[in-house]
Chains A and B, each alone.
Chain A
Amino acid sequence: MSLVSYEFLAFFAAAAILYYVVPKRVQWILLLAVSFLFYAAGGAVYLLYPMITAVSTWFLALRIGRADSAAQTYIQEQKPDKEQKKAYQARIKKHKKRLMTAGILLNFGILAVLKYTDFLLGNLNVLFHLEEGAIPQISWVLPLGISYYTFQTMGYLIDVFRGRCRPEKNLFRFMLFVTYFPQMVSGPISRFDQLKKELFEEHSFDGTQFTFGLWRILWGFFKKLVIADRIAPAVAMITAAPDVYDGIYVLVGMLGYTLQLYTDFSGCMDIVIGVSQCFGIRLPENFQRPFGAKNLSELWRRWHMTLTGWFREYIFFPVSTSRFCRTVSRFAGKLGLHKVTKKLPVYIANLIVWFVTGIWHGAAWGFILWGLANGIVMMVSQEFTELYRAFHRRFPKTDGSVYGALQKVRTGLLFSGLLMFQYYPFGTVFAMLGNLLARGRLSQLFDGRFAELGLAAADFIVIAIGLVLMLLIGVLQETGSVRQKLAARPLVVRFTAVFLLFVMVLVAGCYGHGYDASQFIYNQF
């Protein structure tokens, strides 16, 4: 069930009414039931996968929790000496680690098998110079949101292992954490200790919060249906035919895809967060005006924040402080590479994070290259930090707003350019960028190819209005919540603003007959 379908709107409306009608203590049970229904709408059999993940993780986390309790009891009751205590704690830690490893292997194993088997088989075909399809593809059907709920659940298991959160004793409550319906499709990836209060506490109807939630949903619909889906066919045409669309069109395709990706994904997040707000549940934000970033690292701190946060927490920190990294670092020191000794663990962890980021986004070398390219650009940029500082000291005017704006443009272009690795082969990206620099002319926009993209004058007007509106909202967001600002205005102003947005979605949205059912790009991960 797509989040931008009539079915979803009806489903959400029914769920919201029931949510505030049933006794508050059973609100979470209702959410669990509707989450199951939502998931089962795509095929009841696919409910099996999140159930395996939920039950196995719940059970293992409980066992880890019990091991911790047993250790505490032992220490309190037996009062062992220091050596005994240390040995016992080591044994318990080993036991807990085994439980956690089992959970991680099982659940990431399911994800890996379902998502990456065909990628592996395809590579084997190439590696052994076999005919195409000699090792046939399996083409598993991916359960909805598997990457999201697997990461979220594994984050919980690791947190329990680390003692950062207590294991949930109630299996059904834990199931709600795994399958909470607005969130499981595309995130945001939440932490159990943050989300449990939101999910399980009793919520009274709050008109302001409900209205804010609806406004957020409407804004998400606007981004998705009015902008993302309107430019999608043109972007698809450009990116599918780099031979036809060369020169300036490389830039048009690059920026178009970035805009589509952003409006599609952030629109989806607006709907998810808005729906949750209507239930009184606050979810973490996934975007924070990413194109206001002045460098790539900052952009990635503002883009898909819960995923990058997950990688930082559960991959970057453990890897960079791992025994392996320490050993490599020491080895580099012995070789006399003192300058990189401290940086090596960070570099290794960074490369691993960006490799995983790439492959998380898609089972293809293009995605892996895209991830690694991002990591490498940021590491190189890090190396030049001193140089940048010296530059700014030498030219103090570069701290001004004009240079800042240029930095934002440069960062946006860099991000867009790197995205090309996702959908073109490695060599083609450089060839196309070379073509853009060598042959790109603004006059090419008027050579007839632009008219063949299927966008009419009305489409351009709608896109232009959409972009201006997004820019305006972005600027207003810098000084606080736009919805709160709007709520402080007189009723007529509030009504006019929301009604105009509603009419834009209603009339200029790409939905219904004649349009492909709109699937969100990030649903496929």
Chain B
Amino acid sequence: MRWKKPVCVLLLAAVGVTVIAGLQRLLMPKYMGQVVEGNLTSEYYEETTPHDVVFLGNCEVYENISPIVLWREFGITSYIRGNAQQLIAQSYYILEDTLKYETPGVVVFNVSAMQQFDQNNESYNRMTLDGMRWSASKWNAIRATMMEDEHMMEYIFPILRFHSRFAELEADDLTYFMKSGKVAHNGYYLRADIRPAGDLPVERRRSDYSFDPRSWEYLERIRALCENNGIQLILMKAPSLYPAWYDQWEVQIEEYASEHNLQYINCLEAADEIGIDFSQDTYDGGLHMNVYGAEKLSRYLGPFLLGAGADDHRDDAELAAVWAEKGLFYDSMKAQQEEEFAQFGYLKQFTTEE
């Protein structure tokens, strides 16, 4: 029986690969506890309908804008492709990746990512990049933003990065072994707790307020990519009080927008007009909006987006059904968090017990 040995080898190889793949899935963080951002990037691929608007950027987009409000009040279909400390180079490649699935009419890029080109924390890279589907865009995003002590091999085979978690596995690792739970609302990270803005760290003077030339290079690439695909690019600055947004940076962005005939919306300057109350609309002392602040900002942005070419799709029955379901999930999470905050004064999931 000459076939017996090759078949046996193939079977054993299949067993080996399956076990390693299972171990890899078990050992990878599930991001279902205090930190959920690691699921934001991958949730995009579950979308079944296209979007008129795609937001790009860091925490200033995924915590500050509510796509559900944009839908409910303007009929705009939108998705936030943002993540914790998502670098501008990563935003560029994520936009490139997005264009493989759809071509939105409008892309909104939050310019606060201009201030930092190099990553300073490996876990932010992992949260942004691990969830991307494999493509040339992912490969290039990793290469462009990988830290010195990171290896491409550890992105290709995440078990090489997360193997040491074997000593700290939790119940979540088994619960979400097959698939992580849904954590965001079209990329929006909902928080219904309130922590008023207080004393913020003193602004530090800088010797040089120029943005890194590589940040400019990637902004230019984003602009070119949008232009080549007939997408309207809008630049925005979210109403986050910290990290500081310096006047010198503002001038540079204004000049760039004017030079390239781009719309630039500084929501920080327009905070009063938007109606943001920093004693009520932030959950972490002014760094990020809570759901109340995010809803206000979304209402403010809606007309700009419609003006830039986004359509009102509320008459589309198929879309309406999809978004109604999204709305239910949004409302239930918001209600659950409101109730919990009212009862305890904090949200259990996001606080550590002493």
Interface positions of A from 466 to 525, Cβ below 8 Å from B: 491-492, 495, 499, 503, 506-515
Pick the residue among A6, A491, A513 that contacts B122 (CB under 8 A): A513
Q: Are B163 and A512 in contact (CB under 8 A)?
A: yes
> Is A138 engaged at the interface, CB distance under 8 Å to the other chain?
no
- Verify if A456 is at the interface (C-beta below 8 Å from B): yes
Least Cβ distance of A369 to chain B in Å? 38
Partner of A506, one of B122, B153, B159: B159
The interface-forming segment of B4-12, B85-93, B171-179, B295-303 is: B4-12
Which residues of chain A have C-beta atoms less than 8 A from B23's C-beta?
A: 503, 506-507
Q: Is the CB of B8 within 8 A of A503?
A: no
* Contact yes or no, B167 A491, CB < 8 A: no
The yes or no answer to B354 lying at the interface (CB within 8 A) is no
Distance of A193 from chain B, by nearest CB (Å): 41
**Does B212 sit within 8 A of A, measured CB to CB?**
no
Among residues of A, the one whose C-beta sits closest to the C-beta of B123 is A513
Q: Is B12 a contact of A507 with CB atoms below 8 Å? A: no
Chain A 1-34 per-residue mask, 1 if CB under 8 angstroms from chain B, else 0: 0000010000000000000000000000000000
B232 CB, min distance to chain A CBs, angstroms: 40
Smallest CB separation, A52 vs chain B (Å): 33
In the assembly, what is the distance between CA of A86 and CA of B18, in Å?
Answer: 76
Chain A residues with CB under 8 A of B27? 507
Summed over the interface, the residue pairs from A and B with CB atoms below 8 Å come to a total of 49
> In this assembly, does B224 line the interface, its C-beta being within 8 Å of a C-beta of chain A?
no
Q: Give the Cβ gap from A118 to chain B, nearest Cβ, in Å.
A: 29
Cβ contacts under 8 Å, A515 to chain B: 164
Number of residues from A at the complex interface, CB < 8 A: 19
- Give Cα A509 to B159, complex, Å: 11
Residue of A nearest to B24 (CB): A506
Does chain B have a CB within 8 A of A198?
Answer: no
The residue on A at minimum CB distance from B165 is: A507
B9 near A491: Cβ-Cβ < 8 Å: yes
The size of the chain B interface, using a CB distance under 8 A, is 22
Write out, one digit per residue, whether chain B residues 1-37 have a CB within 8 A of any chain A CB (1) or not (0).
0000100110010001001100100010000000000
A495 touches B16 (CB 8 A): yes
Is A6 touching B151 in the complex (CB atoms < 8 A)? yes
Q: Are B167 and A512 in contact (CB under 8 A)?
A: no
**Residue in chain A with minimal CB distance to B152:** A6
Judged by a CB distance under 8 angstroms, whether B217 is at the interface is no
**CB nearest neighbor in B for A457:** B167
Q: Say yes or no: B163 contacts A507, CB within 8 Å.
A: yes
In contact, B166 and A508 (Cβ under 8 angstroms):
yes
Q: Which residues of A contact B203 (CB under 8 A)?
A: none
B325 at the interface (CB under 8 A from A): no
Given A6-B151, A495-B16, A507-B23, also A514-B164 (CB < 8 A) = yes
Question: A458 an interface residue at 8 Å Cβ cutoff?
Answer: yes
Find A491's partner among B5, B151, B163, B164 (CB 8 Å cutoff): B5
B160 within 8 A of A: yes
Asked if A68 is at the interface (CB within 8 A of a chain B CB), the reply is: no
Taking CB atoms, residues of chain B closer than 8 Å to A507 are 23, 27, 159, 163, 166
Over the window 434-460 of chain A, the binary record of Cβ atoms lying under 8 Å from chain B Cβ atoms (1 yes, 0 no) is: 000000000000000000000010110
Nearest Cβ distance between residue B264 and chain A, in whole angstroms?
38
Whether A459 contacts B167 by the Cβ 8 Å rule is: yes
Q: Which of B5, B8, B9, B154 contacts A512 (CB 8 A)?
A: B154
B161 at the interface (CB under 8 A from A): yes
Closest Cβ–Cβ distance, residue A158 to chain B (whole Å): 44
Q: Which A residue sits closest to B23, measured CB to CB? A: A507
Question: Which partner residue on chain A sits nearest B154 by CB separation?
Answer: A512
Complex contact B12–A458 (CB within 8 A): no
Q: How far does the alpha carbon of A499 sit from the alpha carbon of B161 in the complex, in Å? A: 20
User: Quick one: closest B residue to A514, CB to CB?
Assistant: B164
**Cβ–Cβ contact B19 & A503, under 8 A:** yes
> Are A495 and B12 in contact, CB atoms less than 8 angstroms apart?
yes
Contact present for A491 and B153 (CB under 8 Å): no
- CB atoms of B154 and A513 under 8 A apart: yes
In the complex, the answer to whether A506 meets B150 with C-beta atoms within 8 Å is no
CB-CB nearest in chain A for B26: A507
Asked whether A513 and B19 contact (CB < 8 A) given A456-B167, A507-B163, the answer is no
The smallest beta-carbon distance between A32 and chain B, in angstroms, is 28
Which of A499, A510, A514 is within 8 Å of B16, CB to CB?
Answer: A499
Contact across chains for B153 and A492 when beta carbons are under 8 A apart: no
A456: B residues at CB distance < 8 A: 167
Q: Which residues of B contact A495 (CB under 8 A)?
A: 12, 16
**Cβ contacts under 8 Å, B19 to chain A:** 499, 503
Q: A507-B23, A507-B166 are in contact. Are A512 and B161 (CB under 8 A)?
A: yes
Q: Are B164 and A6 in contact (CB under 8 A)?
A: no
Chain A positions within 8 Å of B9 at CB level: 491
Partner of B20, one of A506, A510, A513: A506
A133 to B27, CA, bound (A): 50
The reply to whether A513 and B8 contact each other, CB–CB distance below 8 Å, is: no
Q: Which A93-137 residues sit within 8 Å CB-CB of chain B?
A: none
Interface, chain A (partner B; CB < 8 A): 6, 456, 458-459, 491-492, 495, 499, 503, 506-515
14 contacts between A and B (CB under 8 A): A458-B167, A491-B5, A491-B8, A491-B12, A492-B12, A495-B12, A499-B19, A503-B23, A506-B20, A507-B159, A512-B164, A513-B122, A513-B149, A515-B164
Q: Which 7 A-B pairs have the closest CB atoms?
A: A458-B167, A495-B12, A6-B153, A507-B163, A507-B166, A512-B160, A513-B161
Other than A491-B8, A491-B12, A499-B16, give 15 A-B pairs with Cβ distance below 8 A.
A491-B5, A491-B9, A492-B12, A495-B12, A499-B19, A503-B19, A503-B23, A507-B159, A509-B163, A511-B160, A512-B164, A513-B122, A513-B149, A513-B150, A514-B164
